[in-house]
Structure 1
Amino acid sequence: MASSSIIVIGASAGGVGALRFLAAALPNTFPAPVLVVLHIGAHRSELPELLNSAGPLPAKHAEDGETIHPGRIYVAPPDRHMIVADGRLRLLRGPKENCARPAIDPLFRSAAEHYGTDALGVILTGNLNDGTLGLLEIKRRGGIAIAQAPDDAAYPDMPRSAAAHVALDYCPPLAEMPKLLIELVNGKDGKDPAMPISSSQPDSGQSPELTDARTFERPLTVTCPECGGALKKFEVGSIIKFGCHIGHSYTAEIMAGAQFEEMEKVMRAAVRFLNERAEFCLQMADHTRSAEHALSADWHAASRQALDRAYKLRDLVEQNWLTPESVRRVASASNGSAPLAE
């Protein structure tokens, strides 16, 4: 395994410190390339410099088309998915996955496809669950699946999701990770059998739901928060995934968050329009005051109505909304367990 193996690592919140620890502990003779995705979005990244200062392995932002060499750390640059194909790196500005670009899943999937049993996937600290599906694909194709021990992670969601949905080969604390990686790339793999993967089409059954005694028909489909395209639901192992024809994809938890953010954006835009309507009507009331008192009064009434509804809508937006995360925190608190880290 040592001559052709590849290590792919995904991290999010708390990931800089974890990645610097790994970089410091790996020797300059490390015989495999290390490919890293950290959720940075389109923001400037100094991660290669930070990794270079931490340890002996040279680190750099990946360049499109460059050959992958062992003993080097390649970091996904801002706003680009990083994948591997035929021993080279490819950078793509494809659709966001789980609201992220770069995202972990594309890298892991490509490593699984092109390296098979020689792919080694690692999930480190982070919120939500990007990387779980990619790690599942690595496992399915016979590679090695590793996640940091959740109780050891600064932000346990990502490793916890990986542990819940993937038959992990190893789940060590960060302090034991470097030694494990060194042993694995030198042939001590201890892999489990590959896992099957299945998918299903979404249920198209429609039934009305009642809200305040008024009937609302269920929509024909759920749309993508990013582009508005219709979403299809898939089951990948024990994970529910939604994807649109453009290519945006979400796990259920991230879909819930993205959907809420889009809803809040629309509602706050409505508050702005109502405020603007109130101001417009007030200006018209001032304009008509001297010419026609009755018309001016109507404009004043319309302004007050718009402003009143703007306040009501703002109060509605700022109420506490139930989300999968908030419900889980309440359930954890009632069971006496610690809530998830933010």
Structure 2
Amino acid sequence: MAPNTVIAIGASAGGVGALRSLVAGLPASFAAPVLIVLHIGAHRSELPAILTAAGPMPAKHAQDGERIEPGQIYLAPPDRHMIVVDGLVRLLRGPKENCARPAVDPLFRSIAENYGPDAIGVILTGNLNDGTAGLYDIKKRGGIAVAQAAYDAAYPDMPKSAAAHVALDYCLPLADLAGLLLKLVGGKMEKEAAMANRHSLTENEQHPEVVTSGTFERPFTVTCPDCGGALKRFEHGSIVKFGCHIGHTYTAEIMASAQFEEMEKVMRAAVRFLNERAEFCLQMAEYSHRSEPDISSQWHEASKQALDRAYKLRDLVEQEWLTPETSATVTMAADNNVHPN
């Protein structure tokens, strides 16, 4: 690799332990800057102190406008996307990507655009698939794509997604990743042959049969779970993404998860309103019992009706739901027969 090599690492659930293990194997004289995004949201983070204590390399929250230097770990601070432009860190409070800020994709995307073949992207443990699209960009521009072996990850979704959509150069257990980075930065290893072509879904797999008792009226558009704006579908290699005009973006899998979360929230709110209506009607029945028995009976019936519908809706919410987005990711990873190098 060239002297201006840059390493970008993305992690989510289980990431603190994984990052501690990884940086412990990197020396203070490491010849490349390391930029890390962990999904911490807007919460206060002690990660710089944790990683500085874990190994010889110092770690810090990146500052807007500072120049990245070898031998330093730069961490995305809370509630800010971190990107690199012309060797300088930029911190942005832009729209969330894949429901996260900071998110992995913006960093990887900027590293791919600015460093091309000198970029190394690493995906560690985490849920869902933030970082996959950015790793695809790094690979597309000649950089090196690395992922923790899914079987070795505390939360395997992110490594599985990377393996399913990107022709990884290396897929290794966590314990071997520091040694790999040392060899890559030191020029002792070159890219290995890309893995087999990614599996693409057939037409039937993309459009499973839907059985319904009524006529399905298709909506005019699919809307953004964050802002309610219209979403546009587009393809990024083999990755399906959705984006709105505000700038919120989602991979298909994360879109499905966010959409379901909003749907469940609305349905549970409806259950609450029905329960409250039942209680209100019952109180009115008790109030009118002596003076207006006929009206009291109607209030009782209304209360029973509300409870009946609340029970039915609650049962509907708690039934198992089909999750083809999860099945598709697992199937693609299995079909590609990804093994550690």
Match of 2:282 in 1: 282
Q: After the TM superposition, which residues 257-272 of structure 1 pair with which residues of structure 2 at under 5 Å, given as runs?
A: 257-272=257-272
Q: After the TM superposition, which residues 207-226 of structure 1 pair with which residues of structure 2 at under 5 Å, given as runs?
A: 212-226=212-226
* Cα distance in 2 for residues equivalent to 1:168 and 1:308: 53
Q: Per the alignment, in what secondary structure is the counterpart of residue 63 of structure 2?
A: coil
* Cα distance in 2 for residues equivalent to 1:254 and 1:74: 26
* Cα distance in 2 for residues equivalent to 1:81 and 1:283: 52
Unaligned runs of 5+ in 2: 195-206
* Cα distance in 2 for residues equivalent to 1:46 and 1:305: 52
Superposition deviation, residue 67 in structure 1:
2.3
CA contact (8 A) 2:161 2:329 kept: no
* Cα distance in 1 for residues equivalent to 2:59 and 2:274: 52
Match of 1:302 in 2: 302
CA contact (8 A) 1:2 1:32 kept: no
* Cα distance in 2 for residues equivalent to 1:76 and 1:29: 22
Superposition deviation, residue 193 in structure 1:
9.8
Superposition deviation, residue 52 in structure 1:
0.9
* Cα distance in 1 for residues equivalent to 2:140 and 2:325: 28
Q: Per the alignment, in what secondary structure is the counterpart of residue 243 of structure 1?
A: strand
Match of 1:77 in 2: 77
CA contact (8 A) 1:144 1:189 kept: no
Match of 1:102 in 2: 102
Match of 2:197 in 1: none
CA contact (8 A) 2:117 2:142 kept: yes
* Cα distance in 2 for residues equivalent to 1:115 and 1:193: 21
* Cα distance in 2 for residues equivalent to 1:234 and 1:68: 33
CA contact (8 A) 1:108 1:137 kept: yes
Q: Which has the higher contact order (CA 8 A, sep 6+)?
A: 2
Q: Per the alignment, in what secondary structure is the counterpart of residue 241 of structure 2?
A: strand
Superposition deviation, residue 212 in structure 1:
4.9
CA contact (8 A) 2:170 2:192 kept: no
Q: Deviations over 1:27-48 (max 9, x none)?
A: 1101211111112222232211
For these two proteins, the number of residue pairs brought into alignment is: 321
1:17 to 1:232, Cα distance in 2 relative to 1, 3 A: same
Q: Per the alignment, in what secondary structure is the counterpart of residue 137 of structure 1?
A: helix
Are residue 133 (structure 1) and residue 114 (structure 2) matched?
Answer: no
CA contact (8 A) 1:84 1:110 kept: yes
Superposition deviation, residue 331 in structure 1:
8.2
Are residue 46 (structure 1) and residue 35 (structure 2) matched?
Answer: no
Unaligned runs of 5+ in 1: 195-206, 338-342
Q: Per the alignment, in what secondary structure is the counterpart of residue 215 of structure 2?
A: strand
* Cα distance in 1 for residues equivalent to 2:57 and 2:78: 21
Normalised TM-score (structure 1): 0.86
Are residue 66 (structure 1) and residue 69 (structure 2) matched?
Answer: no
Q: Deviations over 1:262-308 (max 9, x none)?
A: 11000001011111212222232233334322222222221221122
* Cα distance in 2 for residues equivalent to 1:57 and 1:80: 23
* Cα distance in 1 for residues equivalent to 2:189 and 2:86: 23
Q: Per the alignment, in what secondary structure is the counterpart of residue 172 of structure 2?
A: coil
Superposition deviation, residue 106 in structure 1:
0.6
* Cα distance in 2 for residues equivalent to 1:42 and 1:65: 21
Superposition deviation, residue 211 in structure 1:
5.8
Q: Per the alignment, in what secondary structure is the counterpart of residue 36 of structure 2?
A: strand
Identity of aligned residues (%): 74
Match of 1:321 in 2: 321
Are residue 159 (structure 1) and residue 159 (structure 2) matched?
Answer: yes
Amino acid corresponding to residue 238 of structure 2 in structure 1:
S
Q: After the TM superposition, which residues 148-227 of structure 1 pair with which residues of structure 2 at under 5 Å, given as runs?
A: 148-188=148-188, 190-191=190-191, 212-227=212-227
* Cα distance in 2 for residues equivalent to 1:322 and 1:210: 11
* Cα distance in 1 for residues equivalent to 2:326 and 2:93: 32
* Cα distance in 2 for residues equivalent to 1:52 and 1:331: 39
* Cα distance in 1 for residues equivalent to 2:254 and 2:73: 29
Amino acid corresponding to residue 34 of structure 1 in structure 2:
V
CA contact (8 A) 1:142 1:193 kept: no
Match of 1:233 in 2: 233
CA contact (8 A) 1:99 1:250 kept: yes
* Cα distance in 1 for residues equivalent to 2:247 and 2:329: 31
CA contact (8 A) 1:11 1:38 kept: yes
* Cα distance in 1 for residues equivalent to 2:97 and 2:317: 27
Superposition deviation, residue 154 in structure 1:
2.4
CA contact (8 A) 2:41 2:78 kept: yes
CA contact (8 A) 1:26 1:57 kept: yes
Amino acid corresponding to residue 254 of structure 1 in structure 2:
I
* Cα distance in 1 for residues equivalent to 2:287 and 2:107: 62
* Cα distance in 2 for residues equivalent to 1:162 and 1:329: 10
* Cα distance in 2 for residues equivalent to 1:38 and 1:69: 20
1:184 to 1:6, Cα distance in 2 relative to 1, 3 A: same
Match of 2:27 in 1: 27
